Amino acid sequence: MKIFNLMFYLGSIYLVVIFFSGCARVHQKDRGFLSDPILQLSPDPMSDGLESHNLPRREGSTGGSSGSGGGCGC
């Protein structure tokens, strides 16, 4: 029973350390650099919007995005 309690406490501490290690403060002066368009996944947000709008109808399924409705596009 003592080993279980020790493992539980060590596991809890490990999870708390992992959880708080992802938190970071970003200074005001660095926010402009982080929001630079070159750091975006795609250079053209308009084409991304069109692609994500048509993808569920073309692939015959929905999910993983904000799309809803039938897979056939009806």
- Ordered mean pLDDT values, 10 residues apiece, the chain (74 residues): 86 89 79 76 74 66 55 55
Provide the sign of the torsion angle of the four alpha carbons 8, 9, 10, 11, taken in this order.
positive
Task: With CA atoms as reference, report the closest residue to 61 among 38, 69, 9, 7.
Answer: 69
- Whether pTM > 0.85 for this model: the answer is no
Alpha carbon of 1 to those of 4, 5, 59: distances in Å? 5, 6, 53
